[in-house]
């Protein structure tokens, strides 16, 4: 069985973070492991609190995983401070981790901040240069590229700038655009668009976590990046369309809408 590791925060409401990652990896038929960076007290209406783990304890979790069951792919999600980011960079390099998907989580769907300014700088310097693909939303891509994004041409320019600066492929997500939910994959070989019509729903809690975990699962299974993104886009669209309606705010997706092979 192929294996994947998520390094991310816990979401007590189960729709984002570690919980979304493990559900997604399991639905893909991949064995899921986790290294928790923080606990959040959170639900569909917002984030009530964040409790970060000490960097040494994150290092212990990573040592335990890599010395026993080395993952075929790694997904990095919420990492709220510089010290935790440095710990991850050091451990991934020490163990020669491959197939790294970086979701540069900065703000929750509900609008709450999940990162600090020094964390963003550390993310750029320490994690971006070593990841296989980074998956920013429009807001995160503006921060990473320093460019304003208002059109599809802007999306291409911002992705090209991130690729040029950090050397990693970029999947720029269009979930927050005013038009269709089209995502752009920018690699050395050039741009590829992945189209999806916008689904009218308020239940989008954890879409970013889910998409990056689906890409990570597909990379673990040996698919190339293009195929991994194509399949992940089908999975996220199906999970949104399945229209689970839980909670009073922005509800979670149905991550178990299909089993492996059906997306
Ligand atoms: N309403 C929607 N209809 C169709 N696809 C969507 C919709 N909202 C988001 N998506 C898709 O979900 C994936 C995640 O994109 P999004 O831009 O929402 O990420 P994010 O902002 O990082 O997520 P999160 O809100 O979990 O932090 C992308 O493939 C995006 O196109
Ligand atoms: C723990 C966690 N990670 C990521 C997100 C982004 O959706 C969230 N809301 N919570």
- E strand segments, the chain: 3-11, 31-43, 46-52, 73-76, 100-102, 133-134, 169-172, 183-187, 190-194
Q: Which CATH number does the domain housing residue 66 bear? A: 3.40.1190.20
| Residue 256 is assigned to a structural domain of this protein | no
Active-site residue flag, 135: no
| Residue 132 is assigned to a structural domain of this protein | yes
| Residue 174 is assigned to a structural domain of this protein | yes
- Ligand positioned closest to the Cα atom of 108: 2
In order of 28, 184, 232, the CA distances from 226 in angstroms are 17, 11, 10
Active-site residue flag, 206: yes
DSSP state letter for 109? T
| Residue 8 is assigned to a structural domain of this protein | yes
Spatial contact of 123 and 137, defined as CB atoms under 8 Å apart: no
Q: How many domains does the chain have?
A: 1
| Residue 112 is assigned to a structural domain of this protein | yes
| Residue 252 is assigned to a structural domain of this protein | no
| Residue 59 is assigned to a structural domain of this protein | yes
Q: What is the pLDDT along the chain (263 residues), one digit of tens a residue?
A: 999 999 999 999 999 999 999 999 999 999 999 999 999 999 999 999 999 999 999 999 999 999 999 999 999 999 999 999 999 999 999 999 999 999 999 887 677 777 778 899 999 999 999 999 999 999 999 999 999 999 999 999 999 999 999 999 999 999 999 889 999 999 999 999 999 999 999 999 999 999 999 999 999 999 999 999 999 999 999 999 998 999 999 999 999 887 776 66
46-52 and 169-172 as β-strands: parallel, antiparallel, unpaired?
A: unpaired
Cα torsion angle, 168, 212, 262, 234, sign: negative
- Ligand positioned closest to the Cα atom of 235: 1
Q: Could you tell me which residues come within 8 angstroms of residue 161 by beta carbon, excluding any fewer than 6 positions away?
A: 145, 146, 147
* Residue span of the structural domain in which 100 resides: 3-241
| Residue 31 is assigned to a structural domain of this protein | yes
């Amino acid at each position: 069985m192929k294996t994947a590791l998520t390094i991310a925060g816990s979401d007590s409401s189960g729709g984002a973070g570690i919980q979304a990652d493990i559900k997604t990896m399991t639905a893909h038929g991949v064995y899921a492991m986790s290294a928790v960076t923080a606990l959040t007290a959170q639900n569909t209406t917002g984030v009530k609190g964040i409790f970060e783990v000490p960097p040494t304890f994150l290092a212990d979790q990573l040592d335990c995983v890599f010395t026993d069951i080395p993952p075929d792919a790694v997904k990095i999600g919420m990492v709220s401070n510089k010290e935790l980011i440095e710990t991850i960079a050091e451990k991934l390099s020490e163990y020669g981790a491959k197939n790294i998907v970086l979701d540069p989580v900065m703000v929750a769907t509900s609008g709450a901040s999940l990162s600090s300014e020094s964390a963003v700088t550390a993310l750029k310097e320490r994690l971006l240069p070593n990841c296989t693909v980074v998956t920013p939303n429009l807001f995160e891509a503006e921060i990473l590229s320093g460019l304003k994004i208002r059109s599809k041409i802007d999306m291409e320019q911002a992705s090209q700038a991130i690729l040029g600066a950090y050397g990693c492929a970029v999947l720029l997500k269009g979930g927050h655009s005013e038009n269709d939910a089209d995502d752009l994959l920018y690699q050395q070989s050039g741009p590829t668009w992945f189209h999806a019509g916008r689904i009218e729903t308020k239940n989008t809690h954890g879409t970013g976590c889910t998409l990056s975990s689906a890409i990570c699962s597909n990379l673990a299974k040996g698919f190339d990046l293009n195929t991994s993104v194509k399949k992940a886009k089908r999975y996220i669209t199906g999970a949104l369309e399945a229209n689970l309606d839980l909670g009073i705010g922005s509800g979670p997706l149905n991550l178990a809408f299909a089993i492996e092979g059906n997306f």
